[in-house]
């Protein structure tokens, strides 16, 4: 009897997976046929007019930080809230991580890869409007640095190099700076977080300082996401 | 040629996903997650979506694995 029960349990799991697969197949098939009906005027507008209106070559960035910048503000606020609540709820205690001694290879590789990670993250943030990448991805790359330090060398070393108070300050600068940059659009007589509609001028398309507010918004989101994820990780590792 | 590679990668994606769900050892499951991510990155590049590929690479290989490792460490598995 128990054998049959176990078989049934396995069958149940497989049936669930197959049902989900069929459902996703139907959904993807419907989405695949979307270009038959003519509801794509918005995406066609973005593709044909995006570079001229915003000045950013990377159309994904132009949607994220200009047309739909308010959504980006919401996403960034989620990380800020998570980091704030975690650092409030988790009690301040000695960090305990079940010890694993690494070999010297791990320590040396970590040491050598950290400068490359820093350069890659800063490049992704600064060239977000010209090449693939952007503030969010660059911030995650930057946040990998304290996470690697914590895993290989321990929490004490990581927090002596990058103080938690400084990380919180950087995150707050990012959060408030994003909103202040958004209010700049209101000051110049347009909407909140307006960039292409306000008269900042897109500049010479393709240069580093161009596309109005987008590079500065990228920097703000980058430092905010990086510091926020580092705070979340260090808070979680301190939790008993 | 590119179609062949694309279909092979899709098959590997399904195999990795099934392995991740049905394996007994939880560490194997966690380490199979970045493999899944790497295959997905190549698929994204073939589909000409470098933005999504970059986000997938750094989040799957860097962030999610690290968080899972630390969770397993905390639960004294």
Reported as a single tens digit per residue, the pLDDT across B2-17 is 888 889 999 999 999 9
**Residue from the list A13, A17, A134 with its beta carbon closest to the beta carbon of B51:** A134
Q: Are residues A5 and A89 in the same domain?
A: no
Nearest-angstrom CA–CA distance, A35 and B73: 48
Residue A140 lies in a domain: yes
Q: Please tell me the predicted confidence (pLDDT) of residue A20.
A: 93
B51 CB within 8 Å of a chain A CB:
yes
State mean pLDDT over A153-165: 81
Q: How confident is the model at residue A7 (pLDDT cuts 50, 70, 90)?
A: confident
CA atoms lying within 13 Å on the CB side of residue A63: 10
What residues of chain A lie within 8 A of the CB of B72, using their CB?
none
Partner-chain contact B62 A147, CB within 8 Å: yes
pLDDT band at A167 (very low <50, low <70, confident <90, very high): confident
Higher pLDDT, B77 or A12: A12
Residue B54 contacts A where some CB pair is shorter than 8 Å: yes
Angstrom distance (rounded) from CA A172 to CA A162: 16
Write the pLDDT tens digit of every residue in A118-129: 998 899 888 888
* Domain membership flag for residue A215: yes
Question: Does the beta-carbon distance from B66 to A17 stay under 8 Å?
Answer: no
Residue A196: its pLDDT value, please? Answer: 67
pLDDT of res. A235: 82
In Å, the largest CA–CA distance within chain A is 76
Residue A131 sits in the same domain as residue A67: yes
Residue numbers of the domain that contains A29: 1-39
- Residue A32 lies inside a defined structural domain of this protein: yes
Q: Does B4 touch chain A (CB under 8 A)?
A: no
- CB contact (8 A) between residue A151 and residue B66: yes
Residue B15 is encoded by which pair of tokens?
């195999």
| Furthest C-alpha separation in chain B | 47
> Mean of the pLDDT values across residues A188-209?
72
Is residue A194's pLDDT more than 80? no
Q: How far apart are CA A158 and CA B24, in angstroms?
A: 34
Q: What angle do CA A137, A142, A146 make, to 5 degrees?
A: 140
- Taking CB atoms and an 8 Å limit, are A132 and B50 in contact across chains? yes
Model confidence band, residue A85 (pLDDT cutoffs 50, 70, 90) = confident
Please determine, for residue A99, whether its predicted confidence score (pLDDT) is greater than 80: no
Pair A72, A13 in one domain: no
Pair A18, A133 in one domain: no
Helix axis angle, B26-46 relative to B50-57, nearest 10°?
Answer: 160
- Which whole number is the average pLDDT over B53-74? 84
Q: What residue segments make up the domains of chain B, in order of their start?
A: 2-74
Identify whether residues A113 and A226 lie together within a single domain.
Answer: yes
pLDDT exceeds 60 at position A170: yes
Asked if residue A46 belongs to a domain, the reply is: no
Give chain A's domain count: 2
pLDDT of residue A33: 66
- Tally of CB atoms within 10 A around A138: 28
Contact between A147 and B73 using a beta-carbon 8 Å cutoff: no
Nearest chain A residue (CA) to B48: A132
Residue B61 reports pLDDT greater than 80: yes
How many Å lie between the alpha carbon of B14 and the closest alpha carbon of chain A? 11
Q: Which of A221, A218, A210 lies closest to A56, judged by CA?
A: A210
Q: For residue A94, what pLDDT band results from cuts at 50, 70 and 90?
A: low
For chain A, the three-class secondary structure string (H helix, E strand, C coil) is: CHHHHHHHHHHHHHHHHHHHHHHHHHHHHHHHHHHHCCCCHHHHHHHHHHHHHHCCCCHHHHHHHHHCHHHHHHHHHHHHHHHHHHHHHCCCCCCCCCCCCCCHHHHHHHHHHHHHHHHHHHHHHHCCCCCCCCHHHHHHHHHHHHHHHHHHHCHHHHHHHCCHHHHHHHHHHHHHHHHHHHHHHHHCCCCCCCCCCCCCCCCCCCCCCCCCCHHHHHHHHHHHHHHHHHHHHHHHHHCC
* C-beta atoms of A133 and B54 within 8 A: yes
* A237–B70 CB contact, under 8 Å: yes
pLDDT bin (cut points 50, 70, 90) of residue A19 is very high
| CB-CB contact of A61 with A218 (8 Å) | yes
Residues A141 and A202 in one domain: yes
Q: Alpha-carbon distance A113 to A156, whole Å?
A: 20
Q: How far is A183 from chain B (nearest CA, A)?
A: 28
Q: Is A49 within the bounds of a domain?
A: no
- Does A159 lie in the same domain as A85? yes
Q: Do A67 and A111 share a structural domain?
A: yes
Q: Tell me whether residues A229 and B63 touch, CB distance under 8 A.
A: yes
Do both A215 and A152 map to the same domain? yes
CB contact under 8 A, A132 and B67: no
Q: Is the pLDDT of residue A221 over 80?
A: yes
CA distance A190 to A227: 31
Whether the Cβ atoms of residue A186 and residue A213 lie closer than 8 Å to each other: no
Neighbours of A4 (CB within 10 A): 8
Q: Is A210 part of any domain?
A: yes
User: Chain A residues with CB-CB distance to B under 8 A?
Assistant: 13, 17, 58, 60, 97-98, 124, 132-134, 136-137, 140-141, 143-144, 147, 151, 229, 233, 236-237, 239
For testing contact with chain A, the best of B54, B60, B68 (most A CBs within 10 A): B54
Reported as a single tens digit per residue, the pLDDT across B3-56 is: 888 899 999 999 999 898 888 888 888 888 899 999 999 999 998 888 888 888
Q: How far is CA B70 from CA A19, A26, A74, A148, in A?
A: 32, 37, 28, 12
| Mean pLDDT, rounded, for A211-217 | 80
Q: Are residues A194 and A76 located together in one domain of the fold?
A: yes
**What is the predicted pLDDT for the residue at A116?**
92
Interface test with B, best of A20, A116, A137 (most B CBs within 10 A): A137
Give the whole-angstrom CA distance, residue A59 versus residue A52.
11
Q: Which of B51, B63, B76 lies closest to A132 in CB terms? A: B51
Confidence at residue A119, expressed as pLDDT on a 0 to 100 scale: 92
Q: Over the stretch A34-73, which tens digit does the pLDDT of each residue have?
A: 666 566 777 778 888 877 777 778 888 888 887 888 888 8
A51 located within any domain? no
Question: Binning pLDDT at 50, 70 and 90, where does residue A23 land?
Answer: very high
In a domain, A214, yes or no: yes
């Amino acid at each position: 009897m128990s054998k049959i029960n176990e078989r049934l349990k396995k069958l149940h799991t497989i049936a669930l997976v197959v049902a989900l697969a069929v459902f996703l197949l139907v959904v993807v098939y419907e989405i695949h046929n979307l270009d038959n009906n003519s509801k794509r005027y918005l995406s066609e507008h973005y593709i044909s007019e995006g570079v001229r209106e915003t000045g950013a070559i990377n159309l994904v960035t132009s949607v994220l930080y200009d047309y739909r910048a308010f959504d980006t503000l919401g996403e960034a606020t989620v990380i800020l809230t998570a980091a704030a609540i975690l650092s409030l709820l988790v009690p301040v205690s000695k960090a305990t991580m079940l010890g694993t001694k690494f070999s010297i290879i791990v320590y040396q590789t970590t040491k050598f890869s950290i400068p490359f990670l820093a350069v890659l993250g800063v490049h992704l943030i600064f060239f977000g409007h010209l090449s693939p990448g952007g503030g969010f991805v660059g911030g995650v790359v930057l946040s990998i640095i304290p996470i690697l330090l914590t895993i290989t060398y321990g929490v004490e070393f990581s927090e002596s190099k990058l103080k938690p108070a400084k990380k919180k300050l950087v995150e707050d600068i990012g959060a408030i700076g994003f909103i202040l940059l958004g209010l700049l659009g209101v000051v110049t007589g347009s909407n909140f977080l307006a960039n292409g509609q306000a008269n900042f001028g897109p500049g010479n398309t393709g240069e580093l300082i161009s596309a109005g507010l987008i590079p500065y918004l990228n920097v703000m989101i980058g430092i905010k996401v990086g510091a926020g994820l580092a705070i979340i990780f260090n808070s979680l590792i301190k939790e008993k | 040629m590119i179609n062949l590679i694309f279909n092979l990668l899709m098959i590997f994606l399904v195999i990795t996903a099934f392995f991740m769900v049905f394996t007994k050892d939880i560490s194997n499951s966690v380490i199979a997650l970045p493999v899944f991510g790497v295959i997905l990155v190549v698929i994204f590049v073939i589909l000409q979506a470098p933005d999504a590929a970059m986000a997938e690479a750094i989040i799957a290989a860097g962030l999610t694995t690290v968080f899972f490792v630390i969770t397993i460490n905390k639960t004294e598995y």
